[in-house]
Amino acid sequence: MTDYRSTEERLIFNDRMQRVKEGIHPRLRCRNDREDSHIEQVSTHGLNPFVDEFEEHPDTPYVINLANAIVRSWLVTEKLIYPHEAIVGILRPSYPVMEHFHWGIIPRGEEHYARFGYPSEEKARADRMASRLEPLDWPYFTAAAKRRYGAAQYRAVKEEKIFHAGGYQGHTIPNYVTLLELGLDGVLAKIDFWAEKNARDQETADFYEANRIIVRGMSAYLEQYAAYAAELGEAETDPTQARYYREIADNCAYVAHRKPVTLYQAIQLMWCLSLWDWVDCLGRVDQYLYPFYRYSVEHGDVITSEEAITSLMFKIWEGGSHNSTLSGCRPEDGSDATNELTYLFLQILRSIHDTHPRMVVRIREDVQPELMALIVKLWSEGMSDPTVVSDVNVIPALQRLGVTLWDARDYATLGCQEIEIPGKSNTGCEDGSFNVAKVLELTLRGGLVTPDTGERVGPATTPFTDCETFEALYAAFEKQLAFYTEMHCWLCSRGQEIRAANHAKLVKGPFTDGVLERGIDHDAGGPIYGYGVIETAGVAAAADSLTAIKKLVYDEGRISRETLMAALDANFVGHERERQLLLNRAPKFGNDDPEADAMAVRVLNTYWNEIAKYRSVRGGVYTGACSLLTGGISYGEKTGALPDGRCAKEPLGNTMGPRPGADHSGVTAMLASVAKLPLHKGVGGTTLNVTLPTKTMATPEQRQNVAAMIRAFMTGGGQMAQVTTANLEDLLDAKAHPERHGDLIVRVGGYSMQFVQMNEKAQDEIISRYAGDSAAG
Amino acid sequence: MMEGIVFNIQRASTFDGPGIRTVVFLKGCPLRCLWCHNPEGLSPRPQIMYNAARCIGCGGCAAVCPRGRHALDGGVHRYAREDCTGCGACAGECFGGALALAGRRMTVEAVMAEVRRDGRYYRESGGGMTLSGGEPLAQAEFALALLRQARAEGIGTCVETSGFVPAEVIAAAAAVTGRFLFDYKATGDEMHRALCGVPQAPILDNLARLDALGAEVVLRCPIVPGCNDTDAHIAGIADTARRFGCVIEVQLMAYHRIGLGKAEQLGGAAAYEGQVPDAAAMAAYCAAITARAGKPAGIG
């Protein structure tokens, strides 16, 4: 039997699974890239089920039409079963109107139509029907914003890109436990029970009916697949493949109504919900599948447990899921939840060796050494998955937000590494994002004045040049921050209203605790937890800028306020000496420097305390997050020169770490700095990118060191880490742009060295070594 | 208060002893190895390193140099190293980092304050502090004070040494050092003098001393093509490893050219410029040494 804990033995897929794997390659990227994807193969035969449904039923309540339209779209989509597959069901084609139920708001404009391959004749029809398809739309948002803040102010804030409000709002994990324990008919019975209990008005009755339509639709979808597989089985001449088809038919037919018993059945049923949920995030797969795994191991199953789990992983891989979560605590007593499936999922991930599926492992204080070893082994093989997240940090932090201990122990990550309670929450992940560094830039100039009309936007505060003390400047920063935070949270809440009115996540309703019990939609506050999540950008840049100002201007008097502002206005052109002073004579966050780190803590506290004053429409306060994957770049493009020595338009840095290139004291110092931050106030999820040289993971002893380092961070104040190994491209970029890669450490010989500190000759030598490694490996 | 001259403190090292370590580089070395990769560690005194590529031509250095050794010649910086006392005034004004002072005076407490920061990581990984250089034991009193203090605080200790130090120093170090990373660079006195500028006998005597004292030693051997990549030397490494029971492992260190750039920045004579040994040859040496010594040999 394969030892799934082994870091030396690799999992080898059996013939059937290997052939499925080979079949997936040509149809990957199915969501966004129409070339070579199965979107070419499946179709709705030119039908637009959404528009059809609303056109045919002009007098039916919105929510009923919507439920029927969703079901119809799945049922009219051609069925497709690939050879050797065991689990069936694929994503349907993306059309803009369908995306309404993905994003909650219909994306408009030629760009979107083109992107989703919307048939031109359908375009006009959809536009005509727009007001029927979504009761509230983006113009509602814009009008509300202009009413409250004035047109000029709203426009200026948008143009300056101080924040983005209304974001995605809705990665959640459905309650797979409910689905698997009740089966679809059981869920229908649950709907009936609560519909009767909450029989308060027609609108509520319609809402429950819509939920029934969705669940019955899923049953019908599975029955369609059962019939189609049986049909294929009849026609198939190859006896093995014919058997596969019969097994699929039986499996789909069984779970179309009944609750699953075996692992194979459980996985087919959960995959059906995952598909209808647009392959969002799967939550704690190693936990809720475990009882079925035990059953199949003890009593036998149609396919092996390894095949069943592999089939699921392949489906996730093909569908491009965001995240699944492994290990952690049992909610009832906090004991270690790691099991055989934890290891099996990781081994399959290792054998797939791709950027998807994304997996996260929860790290306990007493994490099993074999688990840490396997995680580091995956990193050492060049994968950036799994991400690790700390139970020590997250569980108490969730409790502070009002989450019960039981539920806090059951958390999972999703989306871009946000944290939620599976099956019980909609935290709007994410409701919006905010650029703290931009607000500092505005503060230095006394606030924002529109460049064209000269109109004052937001409060007027004392400009930096008139601030006699550092605290006077910081007070102005707080005032500006308070204004834009209020505006941002208010606008985020308007985005939530649109999604609530549109029942943007209707499919998730029957599978999210609180929705049926309260009779309130998933996006309107039905789920048990409805706190809000604001992604936070530019913290390190803002903090480093304030540290430089405090130290070099106010404490040491090495540069005057006027000279500093002149240098910023000129984007440092003609002020290189000043820029170098700011860059190299003031400490930076990420080096375990008490002064610089204290400033980062202060800035983050200021901002995250501010957002906690506001509540989401769903109920619950806003909390911080920092897992923006590319936000640091796009916000950076709209942020001018800053007193940390950063030139205009340069990236602000991604995730919770230091500004790129600012940390030069070793990875332990960087981790120490991050661990000082009030990450417990960023329960939305605060990722940290950690880049380690490939060579630091070359031997088992070195991998143990990496495991120790990450474990120490995870249990000493850190919340999340994504570890990657440096590769040749990084080195080449570091040579061309040393200012971006102060953190890149390379193994030189008897010691390691900061790559950017080496002369060209030495850099070339290191590059040639990495090039050699790549060629060899 | 006792002070030493330190030219670097590097955190998060995972190559210089077990676990995660902080490496303290002490300045000054009695050897003159042709290929020296840390030439800023040779002189015991603080020195100015000048990296022209980072000069922004601001003239800040010229304004403060007490001896007028810096000048701007048509916007181009000129540095005359003669008579430079290494006072470091210019480096203080060089914000871009073209001029840097290699070596600063530090107290034991100041060094320990840095070393202590990663205590959590040492405990998790079985790591600690490594003294390197230069030859760390050349600043014997200071090095011993650091080792004693670390040990008193429960921080693991390693010393990377050339072994060319007085007998009483190595003996004193052995009492407070968990593991020695002991250099073995040449086989035979003649070869050793030619390549490293000093005789080998005192070094081997010290290795014998460590053996007698029951120390733990990793033999570290730079492989420099054209200098010591001979069959006789490879055999010498293996025989030395076998002869001394204290040697637990051999690490071969491939020659690299990093020292060349640093030597240039120090204004010194060009160091030995050789070929980097190829990976296959290094692997073959490791295999040969492992077989002959009966002890593991790997690439360090």
Distance of CA A208 to the CA centre of its chain: 30
Question: Which residues of chain A neighbour B255 with C-beta distances below 8 Å?
Answer: 749
**Window from A89-98, A436-445, A550-559, B272-281 with minimum mean pLDDT:** A89-98
Three-state DSSP class for A548? helix
- For the cut 80, the answer to whether the pLDDT of residue B270 exceeds it is no
With beta carbons less than 8 A apart as the criterion, state whether A580 and A645 touch: yes
- Do the Cβ atoms of A577 and B261 come within 8 Å? no
What are the tens digits of pLDDT across the range B102-116? 999 999 999 999 999
| Distance of alpha carbon A652 from alpha carbon A596, whole angstroms | 17
Residues of A in Cβ contact (< 8 Å) with B261 = 758-762
Select from B12, B53, B253 the Cβ nearest to the Cβ of A750: B253
Q: Taking all residues of chain B, what is their mean pLDDT, rounded to a whole number? A: 94
Tell me, what DSSP letter sits at residue A620?
S
Chain mean pLDDT for chain A: 89
* C-alpha span between A601 and A584 (Å, rounded): 21
| pLDDT (mean) for A761-777 | 55
The answer on pLDDT for B146 being more than 90 is: yes
Q: Which residue among A704, A745, A759 places its CB closest to the CB of B261?
A: A759
What is the pLDDT, as a whole number, of residue A108?
66
Question: 10 Å Cβ neighbour count for A11?
Answer: 20
Task: Judge residue A775's burial from the number of C-beta atoms within 10 Å of its C-beta, 0-12 exposed, 13-18 middle, 19 or more buried.
Answer: exposed
d(CA A633, CA A635): 6
Higher-confidence position of A634 and B170? B170
A373 vs B: CB within 8 A: no
Going by pLDDT thresholds of 50, 70 and 90, the confidence category of residue A692 is confident
**pLDDT-based confidence at residue A753 (cuts at 50, 70, 90):** low
Instruction: Evaluate whether B140 touches B165 at the Cβ level (below 8 Å).
Output: yes
- The residue count of chain B comes to 300
The answer to whether A669 contacts chain B (CB < 8 Å) is yes
Provide mean pLDDT across the span A96-105.
56
Distance CA A363, CA A372 (A): 9
B106 Cβ contact list (under 8 Å, min separation 6): B3, B4, B5, B6
Nearest to A54 by CA among A66, A40, A37: A66
Q: Give how far the C-alpha of residue A604 lies from the chain's centroid of Cα atoms, to the nearest Å.
A: 21
Distance from CA of B94 to the nearest CA of A (A): 8
| SS3 state at B250 | strand
- CA distance, residue A648 to nearest chain B CA (Å): 19
CA-based nearest residue to A274, from A455, A87, A58: A87
Q: What residues does A342 pair with on adjacent strands?
A: none
Cα distance from B92 to chain A (closest Cα, Å)?
9
Cα B130 to Cα B20, B112, B155, distances in angstroms: 10, 12, 10
Q: In terms of Cα–Cα distance, which of B219, B223, B221 is closest to B248?
A: B219
Q: Which residue has the tokens 């008193």?
A: B152
In chain B, what residues touch A704 (CB-CB under 8 Å)? 125
Q: Which residues of A touch B276 (CB under 8 A)?
A: 765
| pLDDT single digits (tens) A331-349 | 999 999 999 999 999 999 9
CB contact under 8 A, A577 and B56: yes
For chain A, how big is the Rg over CA atoms in Å?
27
Burial A334-363 (b: 16+ CB within 10 A, else e): bebbbbbbbbbbbbbbbbbeeebbbbbbbb
Q: Can you give the pLDDT at residue A705?
A: 94
Q: Is A306 helix (H, G, I), strand (E, B) or coil?
A: helix
Q: What is the ipTM of this complex?
A: 0.92
Q: Is A723 helix (H, G, I), strand (E, B) or coil?
A: strand
* A568 lies within 8 A of chain B by CB: no
Among A549, A539, A743, residue whose Cα is nearest residue A644: A549
Tokens, residue A383: 């994968």
In a mutational test of the B interface, the residue from A705, A752, A754, A766 whose CB has the highest number of chain B CBs within 10 Å is: A705
Single out the residue of A342, A347, A362 nearest to residue A422, CA to CA. Answer: A362
Are B125 and A708 inside 8 Å of each other by CB? yes
* Other beta carbons within 10 Å of A494: 19
**Substitution target from B33, B95, B135, B255 for chain A, most A beta carbons within 10 A:** B95
Whether chain B has a CB inside 8 Å of the CB on A563: the answer is no
- Chains A and B form CB pairs within 8 A to the count of 123
CB B45 within 8 Å of CB B29:
no
- How far apart, in whole angstroms, are the C-alpha atoms of residue A267 and residue A247? 14
pLDDT grade for A774, boundaries at 50, 70 and 90 = very low
Higher model confidence: residue A725 or residue A82? A82
Please tell me which of the candidates A580, A712, A748 has its beta carbon nearest to residue B120: A712
Answer whether A777 touches B (CB < 8 Å). Answer: no
CB contact under 8 A, A750 and B51: no
For testing contact with chain B, the best of A597, A674, A703, A751 (most B CBs within 10 A): A751
pLDDT tens digits, residue range A633-691?
789 899 999 999 999 998 887 678 888 778 888 899 999 999 999 999 998 888 888 87
Does any CB of chain B come closer than 8 Å to the CB of residue A753?
yes
Distances (CA, A) of A182 to A297, B175, B249: 22, 68, 61
* Cβ contact, residue pair B260, A706, below 8 Å: no
Is residue A77 pLDDT above 60, yes or no?
Answer: yes
**Rounded Cα distance, A361 and B180, in Å:** 38
Q: Is the pLDDT of residue B97 over 50?
A: yes
CB contact under 8 A, A668 and B125: no
pLDDT at A417: 82
Q: Which of B183, B184, B258 to mutate to test the interface with A (most CBs of A within 10 A)?
A: B258
Task: Report, as an integer, the average pLDDT of A366-385.
Answer: 92
d(CA A623, CA A656): 15
| Assigned token pair, B11 | 């955190």
pLDDT value at residue B272? 84
Cβ A731 vs Cβ A755: under 8 Å = yes
What was the pLDDT predicted at B154? 97
Partner-chain residue, chosen from A716, A752, A753, that has the shortest CB–CB distance to B120:
A716
With CA atoms as reference, report the closest residue to A403 among A414, A415, A395: A395
**β-strands B99-102, B104-107: how paired?**
unpaired
At A168 the three-state DSSP class reads coil
- B-chain CB neighbours of A576 within 8 Å are 56, 58, 96
Chain A contact set for B12 (CB, 8 A): 666-669, 709, 745
Backbone angles phi, psi at A382, to 5 degrees: 95, 10
Q: What pLDDT is recorded for position B219? A: 97
The pLDDT of residue A369: 96
What CA–CA distance (Å, rounded) separates A513 from A181? 14
Rounded CA separation A323/A284 (Å): 10
Residues A551 and B62 sit within 8 Å (Cβ to Cβ): no
Average pLDDT rounded to a whole number, residues A68-79: 90
Q: Which residues sit opposite B78 in a β-bridge?
A: B71
Classify residue A551 by its DSSP letter: I
Give the pLDDT confidence score for residue B115 in this predicted structure: 98
Give the closest of B37, B120, B125 to A705, CB-based: B125
Query: Looking at the complex, does the CB of residue A396 fall below 8 Å from at least one CB of chain B?
Result: no
Residue in the structure block whose two tokens are 């942020």: A639
Q: Pull the structure tokens for residue A261.
A: 């018993």
Q: How far does B203 lie from chain A, in Å, by closest CA?
A: 20
Q: Taking CB atoms and an 8 Å limit, are A702 and B14 in contact across chains?
A: yes
- What is the identity of the amino acid at A634? S
Size of chain A, expressed as the number of residues it contains = 777
Query: Which of B7, B124, B183, B265 has the most A C-beta neighbours within 10 Å, making it the best mutation to test the interface with A?
Result: B124
| Residues of chain A positioned with their CB less than 8 A from the CB of B300 | 750
pLDDT, position A107: 64
Task: Tell me the mean pLDDT in the region A254-271.
Answer: 98
B8 contacts B39 by C-beta, under 8 angstroms: no
Q: What is the pLDDT of residues A518-563, one digit of tens each?
A: 999 999 999 999 989 999 999 999 999 999 999 999 999 999 999 9
Rounded to whole angstroms, the Cα distance separating B85 from B63 reads 16
Q: For residue A78, is pLDDT > 80?
A: yes
Per the DSSP assignment, residues forming a β-bridge with A360 are: A325, A387
Going by pLDDT thresholds of 50, 70 and 90, the confidence category of residue A427 is: confident
Taking the CA of residue A236 and the nearest CA in chain B, the distance in Å comes to 54
Percent of chain A with pLDDT over 70: 89
CA distances from A273 to A268, A476, A508, A510, A570 (A): 9, 50, 9, 11, 55
What pLDDT does A168 receive?
65
Candidates B23, B121, B256; nearest CB to A748: B256
Q: Do residues B18 and B126 make contact, with C-beta atoms less than 8 angstroms apart?
A: yes
Cis peptide preceding A430, ω within 30 of 0 = yes
- Over 90: is that where the pLDDT of A435 sits? yes
A120 contacts chain B (CB < 8 A): no
Say whether A665 and B132 touch across the interface (CB within 8 A). Answer: no
pLDDT class of A38 with cuts at 50, 70, 90: very low
Closest partner residue to B257 (CB to CB) among A667, A709, A765 is A765
Distance from C-alpha of A62 to C-alpha of A521, rounded to nearest angstrom: 13
Distance from CA of A633 to the nearest CA of B (A): 25
Q: Which amino acid, one-letter code, is at A520?
A: I
Q: Which residues in chain B are closer than 8 Å to A752, comparing Cβ atoms?
A: 10, 13-15
Find the closest chain A residue to B126 by CA distance. Answer: A705
Residues 6+ apart with CB under 8 A from A611: A434, A485, A489, A534, A621, A622, A623, A624
Q: Is A716 on the interface with B (CB under 8 A)?
A: yes
With beta carbons less than 8 A apart as the criterion, state whether A318 and A90 touch: yes
**For residue A774, how many other CB atoms are within 10 A of its CB?**
12
CB contact under 8 A, B160 and A696: no
DSSP conformation letters of B62-120: HHH-TT--EEEETTEEEE--TT-----HHHHH-TTSSEEEE-EEEEHHHHHHHHHTTHH
One-letter amino acid at A748 equals V
Contacts of B254 in chain A (CB under 8 A): 749
Q: How far is A610 from chain B (nearest CA, A)?
A: 32
Q: Is A743 on the interface with B (CB under 8 A)?
A: no
| Residue A726: pLDDT band with limits 50, 70, 90 | confident
Give contacts of A761 with chain B, Cβ < 8 Å: 257, 260-261
The secondary structure of A245-285 as a DSSP string is HHHHHHHHHHHTTSPP-SHHHHHHHHHHHHHHTTS-EEE-H
Do B41 and B89 form a contact (C-beta atoms < 8 A)? no
Decide the pairing of beta strands A622-626 and A685-686. parallel
Summarize pLDDT for B45-95 with one digit per residue, the tens: 999 999 988 899 999 999 999 999 999 888 889 998 888 888 999 999 999
Please indicate whether, in this complex, the C-beta atoms of B220 and A576 are within 8 angstroms of each other.
no
CB of A705 within 8 Å of any CB in chain B? yes
d(CA A261, CA A143): 52
Query: Between chains, do A750 and B264 touch, taking CB under 8 Å as contact?
Result: no
